[in-house]
Structure 1
Amino acid sequence: MGTAERREASDESVAVRSQARQGRQAPDRDIPVRRRAGDAVWDEQQQDCRPLWVEEPARKHPMPDPVRSAAVRAVIIIAVTLIQAMVAFLCTLAGSWLAFPMVISSVASTVVATWAVVDVWVTRQVWSQRYGVVSEPSSTARALRRERRAGRRQERAAQREQERIRRRGAAGQLSHS
């Protein structure tokens, strides 16, 4: 077998091998692929493949929607403010006529950005007060409420008992004497 014949054979075998591999491997790891029985190379490759990441459950609850939207709004406003401040600084260094208007707008944007951050904080507090009350079993307030409820239950039971006694006593009387 000459060099040319070997080259043709090796090129052919490379092409055959790559086609065979492409038939076995999926372009994405999430796509299931049919494999042939007894394919030892495939089994070894499957054992070596690990997922790129493993999803873990979130430890904290995600931010409520109103708080999240206020936070996104605040981040966008802060980013624009920082860009404005940088442009004002560069215009000042360049001695451009645009420096003064940019400084004035940067000051105004700083006030708006501060307002946006306060809005996030207030929105979070309001949401927590409306929906985020967490009562734990060890909470003192919960124990006090439980005691008050038990006391009111006992008072109502005692009143019902008194009413029952009063009705029985009144039902047994024939006259008012």
Structure 2
Amino acid sequence: MGTAERRGAPEKGAGARGTALRSPEQPDRDIPTAEHGASDRYAGATDGHPYAGAADRQGTRTAHRQLWVEESARRRRMPDPVRTAAVRAVLIISVTLIQAMVAFLCTLAESWLAFPMVISGVVSTVVATWAALDVWVTRQVWNQRYGVVSAPSSTARALRRERRRARRQARATERAQERIRRQGGAGQLSHP
């Protein structure tokens, strides 16, 4: 029995009440409508959907809500060479840790594989240390080449201001001395 037949069928007893559908104009009790704070997800529904135009029927239309809001990252993205070195270091360190665990388990089991695993674990430890240092060196090199921002800090500005003030004062003192010399020593009490 289709939806149209169920809507038009007369209700017969208590069992028929559960299968009969409400008319689209009658709001469900558990679904909020626009007047009771309907959420935005019902506003943009298409025809054929059970909640199509629920907000439109009430005479109000709400704006679509975005799925997510992009927030600016707290930290800047790592430069590509540094990121490559970091990924390489993480992979090497994880393989080293797996080798160390296998060497430990082989030692406990007194397997012949314990000695080769210990030797390869020592070699892997050296390589993992190199990989971790490589991340640091790559980061320092990148910062030295591309990371310098030519903006003076407040401390540098204050030092420059003090130096300028001292130079101005020295020039003013020098001009005053030059003026006294040009006047031919007028105002001096004794000659040197």
Of 97, 109, 118 in structure 1, the residue corresponding to residue 133 of structure 2 is 118
Other-structure match for 2:102: 87
Q: Distance in 2 between matches of 1:33 and 1:6?
A: 28
TM-score by length of 2: 0.52
1:74 partner SS? helix
Other-structure match for 2:17: 6
Pair 52,3 (structure 1): closer, same or farther in 2 beyond 3 Å: same
Q: Distance in 1 between matches of 2:104 and 2:65?
A: 50
2:129 partner SS? helix
The Cα shift of 1:105 comes to: 0.8
The Cα shift of 1:3 comes to: 3.7
2:56 partner SS? coil
Of 142, 147, 169 in structure 2, the residue corresponding to residue 132 of structure 1 is 147
Other-structure match for 1:38: 56
The Cα shift of 1:59 comes to: 3.4
Tell me the C-alpha RMSD between the 2 structures.
3.5
Q: Distance in 1 between matches of 2:45 and 2:17?
A: 33
Question: Which whole-Å deviations, capped at 9, do the CAs of 1:21-71 have from their partners, x for residues lacking one?
Answer: 9xxxxxxx7xx644525345x97xx79x97665431123321110000000
Other-structure match for 1:156: none
The Cα shift of 1:93 comes to: 1.1
Structure number with larger C-alpha Rg: 2
Give the structure, 1 or 2, with the largest relative contact order (CA under 8 Å, sep 6 or more). 1
TM-score by length of 1: 0.56
- Which segments of 5 or more consecutive residues in structure 1 lack a partner in the other structure? 22-28, 148-177
Most deviating of 92-101 and 71-80: 92-101
Pair 53,95 (structure 1): closer, same or farther in 2 beyond 3 Å: farther
Q: How does 1:137-148 map to 2 (within 5 A)?
A: 137-138=152-153, 140=156
**Percent of aligned pairs with the same amino acid:** 65
Instruction: Choose between structure 1 and 2: higher helix proportion.
Output: 1
Partner AA of 2:56 in structure 1: G
Partner AA of 1:66 in structure 2: P
- Which segments of 5 or more consecutive residues in structure 2 lack a partner in the other structure? 1-11, 32-40, 47-51, 164-192
The Cα shift of 1:91 comes to: 1.1
Partner AA of 2:134 in structure 1: D
The Cα shift of 1:94 comes to: 1.3
